Structures are given as C-alpha cells and as structure tokens.
C-alpha cells in the first residue's frame, strides 16, 4: 500500500472521529492550538533574551508578545470560545475578500468570468454564514471539518496513485 492510500485511510478515520465525537475533537484541537501558542511564546521569549544586547527594543517587544501568546495559549485550555472566535474571524475575513473579488468581477468582468465572479460572490456569502455558525455553535464547524477530512481521505485513497505518478513524471 502506498503512502497516499494510507494517508487517505487515516484522514477518513480522523474525519469519522471528528463527526462521532465533536466535543472531544474540538477540545483536542483547542489544546493543540493552545500548546502551539505557548510554545511560540516561549520561543519568542528565549529568542528575545539571546538578542537582548544587540537589539534591546526588539527584544522587549518579543518578550511582551511572548507573554501575550502564552496567556492566549492558556485561554485555549480553559474554553472553546477562543477557538470559535478565531474560526469565525477567519471565515469573516475570507468572506469579505471573496465578496469583494466577486463584486469587482461582476462589475468589470466579461463573459465567463462574470459567472465565475457570481460563484465567488456566492462562496463569500456561504463563508460569511459559516462564520456565524462558528460563533453560535462551534461544534457544527468541527462536524464540517470531519466531513472535509472524509472527502479528502476518499480522494487520496481513490486517486492518490495519480499524485504519485505526477510526482514521478515531474522528477520529484
């Protein structure tokens, strides 16, 4: 069995776990995000002290940012609200960009690009509503992530060999 089929199976299993246990999955993702932020904060603080004699101003900013990241990381351990907020923020940001691109494409595009711009605008509106769902019920987003993992896993399992052939054709 090649690596892409194995990755496909793992993604399918992970997607099923996300859908079957959304609260546990959201908690695990929140803990991983918290650990990542705490680790980044510690790295920034250690980096700041190693460069203290060379760049004091930058080091002070890195120490402050490091402590801020550590505090934010501990928030992820306590509650799922920061995870829901950041997810919603990302959806809102993507939605705004997609809607602006879609509107500009409709106004200034020609022919087929107008239809692509209409689809882009619709995707922006969908992303906006996903942001609303992320704030109101973060577990729906976890289930959506589970569905995406399953779809991605099925793609890797079924057409994963094509990725290997493309890589070998390109000489990678």
pLDDT digits (tens, 9 = 90+) for 84-126: 777 778 888 889 998 998 898 888 876 667 888 889 899 999 9
pTM equals 0.62
Q: Token match 């996300």: residue?
A: 18
**Torsion over CA of 117, 120, 121 and 123, rounded to 10 degrees?**
160
Q: What is the pLDDT of residue 57?
A: 80
Answer yes or no: are the C-beta atoms of 80 and 30 closer than 8 Å: yes
Q: Residue 163's pLDDT is what?
A: 62
Asked whether residue 49 carries a pLDDT value surpassing 60, the answer given is yes
For residue 64, pLDDT over 90 is answered with yes
CB 140 within 8 A of CB 118: no
| C-alpha to C-alpha distance for 91 and 15, rounded to whole angstroms | 20
pLDDT at position 51 over 80: no
Task: State residue 168's pLDDT score.
Answer: 64
- For residue 40, pLDDT over 90 is answered with yes
DSSP state of 171: T
Question: In the predicted model, what is the mean pLDDT of residues 40-46?
Answer: 91
Per-residue model confidence (pLDDT) at position 96: 92
Total domain count, the chain: 1
Confidence of residue 17 (pLDDT cuts 50, 70, 90): very high
Mean local confidence (pLDDT), 8-22: 91
**Residue 144: helix, strand or coil by DSSP?**
helix
CB 22, CB 145: distance < 8 Å: no
Asked whether 153 and 144 are in contact (CB, 8 A), the reply is no
- The gap between the terminal CA atoms of the chain, to the nearest Å, is 19
Residue with tokens 């080091």: 59
Q: What are the DSSP calls for 79-90, one per residue?
A: -SHHHHHHHHHH
Mean pLDDT, the chain, as a whole number? Answer: 84
Alpha-carbon span 51 to 45, nearest angstrom: 10
Of the given ranges (29-33, 42-46, 134-138), which has the lowest mean pLDDT? 134-138
* Average of per-residue pLDDT across 158-163: 73
Tell me the pLDDT band of 169, cut-offs 50, 70 and 90.
Answer: low
Could you tell me the residue range of the domain that residue 76 belongs to? 3-170
């Amino acid at each position: 069995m090649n690596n892409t089929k194995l990755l496909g199976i793992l993604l399918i299993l992970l997607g099923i776990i996300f859908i079957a246990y959304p609260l546990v999955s959201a908690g695990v993702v929140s803990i991983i995000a918290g650990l990542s932020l705490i680790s980044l904060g510690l790295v920034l603080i250690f980096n700041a002290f190693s460069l203290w004699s060379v760049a004091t101003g930058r080091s002070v900013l890195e120490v402050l940012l490091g402590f801020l990241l550590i505090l934010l990381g501990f928030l992820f351990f306590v509650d799922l609200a920061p995870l829901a907020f950041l997810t919603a923020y990302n959806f809102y940001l993507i939605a705004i960009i997609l809607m602006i691109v879609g509107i500009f494409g409709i106004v200034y595009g020609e022919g087929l690009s107008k239809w692509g711009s209409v689809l882009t605008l619709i995707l922006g509106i969908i992303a906006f509503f996903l942001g609303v769902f992320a704030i109101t019920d973060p577990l729906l987003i976890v289930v959506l992530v589970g569905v995406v993992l399953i779809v991605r896993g099925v793609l890797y399992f079924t057409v994963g060999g094509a990725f290997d052939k493309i890589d070998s054709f390109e000489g990678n």
